[in-house]
A = this chain, B = another copy of it.
Amino acid sequence: MTAEIITIGDELLIGQIVDTNSAWIGKQLSLTGIKVHQISSISDDEKHILQALAEAEQRVDLVLITGGLGPTKDDITKKTLCKYFNTRLIIHEDILEKIKIFFDRRGFKMSEINVQQAALPENCTIIPNPVGTASGMWFEKNNTVFVSMPGIPHEMKRIMTDGVLPKLKKEFDLPVIIHRTVLTYGIIESELSDQLEDFEKNLPEGMKLAYLPSLERLRLRLSITGKNREKLEKLLDEQVSELKKYLGNKVFGFGDSSLQEAIGILLKKTGQTVATAESCTGGNIAHLITGVPGSSEYFKGSVVAYDNRIKQNVLNVNEQSLIKYGAVSKEVVEQMALGVQKLMKTDFAIATSGIAGPGGGTDEKPVGTTWIAVATPNGEVHAKKYVFGTQRQQNIRRASAVALNNLRKSLIVIE
């Protein structure tokens, strides 16, 4: 079964709203074994809607539509659907009753335009909306199913979960599609693709590998379609194990996780703690770590030492080292890591010192030059130099990710 998603609304086209509905629907359909062929965002315009419906009808078995079901004048989806399916709006008394209860419960007064929310096409199957006043509508035409839903994300999600997906599973014989995502860091896409040439060649029939890079992780997604879920899962599990063999400790997690979650899991396991001493990352590593719920269990704190005197006075960095080697140096970043480890009495510590840019670069130390150190419980400290790019925000993000990954590697060694 193939599907298309059509989201209706001028606000999507002018970029006032990011369309998150499509991604959510796409994921649900994929998990249900329905292949999404296309997603289209179109304007609140009758001609445009009619054309998009007709095109989709030619291409797929299922069309899911969101948006344009509100009570105001610019919402024209319902009228347009009547035209397309050659029907008319009638008041559905059972729905009207539900809308009345909906308003009563909230203590709101119901007005005439709210009554119109119960005016729905005569020849569709109503899919109830338990959390709002705009109902879902299920139509069938020339062997294609069309479902129209409101654009408000939490209403659309309830209609999908409670009504549309169960009905699809009941009425159609759907194949099984499964995905596994392996999260890696510390290797770039092109290098990885070289390394995985044999792996890719030997993938079982019908299994696909996709590379999804970002600054914070490189995701590898394996996908397969078939009928027997158990068999497919086994096939995928085997290939995930195989991937792990190729990639070793470059794999930091699975599914939708992050480096900071990975180090959280490792630190919790051993009951150990960490602190950060940040110069060029300016608190971003602490921010990432503390974004994880429960991080107070293993994260004690951070000293953001932007000014060199803070490096000296709070982190106990030697003044002579600052003068001799400069703030962006092996010596200083190591002392920063050891300093915060001692100050905060933690097992591990991360430190960063670099030139985030756009200013501050020299021939010897261009913008992007960054030293990153990890101090470990045995009193050792390891520092490494990196040269990132010229973009301040990206340098901060890259340095933070590398620092978290270096900590992760230290934690694995200990483990």
Decide: A302 near B300, CB < 8 A? Known: A111-B194, A189-B70, A389-B105: no
Main secondary structure of the interface of A (DSSP, over half): mixed
List 6 A-B pairs, Cβ < 8 Å: A13-B30, A37-B43, A39-B40, A276-B304, A284-B290, A303-B304
A16 within 8 A of B: yes
B15 pairs with A37, CB closer than 8 A = no
Interchain CB contact (< 8 A) of A310 among B12, B26, B300: B300
- A148 surroundings in chain B (CB, below 8 A): none
**7 interchain residue pairs of minimum CB distance:** A282-B290, A15-B27, A283-B286, A283-B283, A15-B26, A302-B304, A39-B41
Residues of chain A whose beta carbon lies under 8 Å from any beta carbon of chain B: 10-20, 22-30, 36-43, 48, 52, 55, 70-74, 105-109, 111, 113-114, 131, 152, 154, 179, 181, 188-191, 193-194, 200, 208-214, 219, 221, 223, 276, 278, 281-287, 289-291, 293-296, 299-307, 309-310, 313-314, 343-345, 356-359, 368, 386-389, 391-394, 396
With A152-B214, A276-B283, A299-B306 given, name 16 new contacts (CB 8 A): A13-B39, A15-B27, A15-B30, A71-B189, A73-B193, A73-B200, A105-B387, A281-B287, A284-B290, A286-B304, A290-B306, A299-B307, A301-B307, A303-B304, A303-B314, A309-B345
- A314 surroundings in chain B (CB, below 8 A): 301, 303, 314, 343-344
CB distance from A165 to the nearest CB of B (A): 14
B23 pairs with A212, CB closer than 8 A = no
Interchain CB contact (< 8 A) of A305 among B281, B291, B301: B301
B299 pairs with A194, CB closer than 8 A = no
CB distance from A278 to the nearest CB of B (A): 8
The closest CB in chain B to the CB of A132 belongs to: B389
Interchain CB contact (< 8 A) of A154 among B29, B299, B391: B391
B39 pairs with A12, CB closer than 8 A = yes
Decide: A22 near B19, CB < 8 A? Known: A11-B210, A40-B38, A293-B357: yes
CB distance from A39 to the nearest CB of B (A): 4
Bound complex: CA A394 to CA B394 (Å): 22
A11 pairs with B293, CB closer than 8 A = no
A12 pairs with B26, CB closer than 8 A = yes
Decide: A10 near B154, CB < 8 A? Known: A18-B18, A73-B200: no
A11 pairs with B212, CB closer than 8 A = yes
Bound complex: CA A345 to CA B312 (Å): 13
- A154 surroundings in chain B (CB, below 8 A): 391, 394
Q: Which of A41, A300, A386 has the most CB of B within 10 A?
A: A41
B113 pairs with A190, CB closer than 8 A = yes
Bound complex: CA A19 to CA B38 (Å): 13
B109 pairs with A72, CB closer than 8 A = no
A301 pairs with B299, CB closer than 8 A = no
- A307 surroundings in chain B (CB, below 8 A): 296, 299-301, 344
Bound complex: CA A41 to CA B70 (Å): 25
The closest CB in chain B to the CB of A214 belongs to: B152
Bound complex: CA A313 to CA B313 (Å): 14
Decide: A38 near B42, CB < 8 A? Known: A72-B189, A293-B358, A392-B291: yes
B43 pairs with A40, CB closer than 8 A = no
CB distance from A346 to the nearest CB of B (A): 9
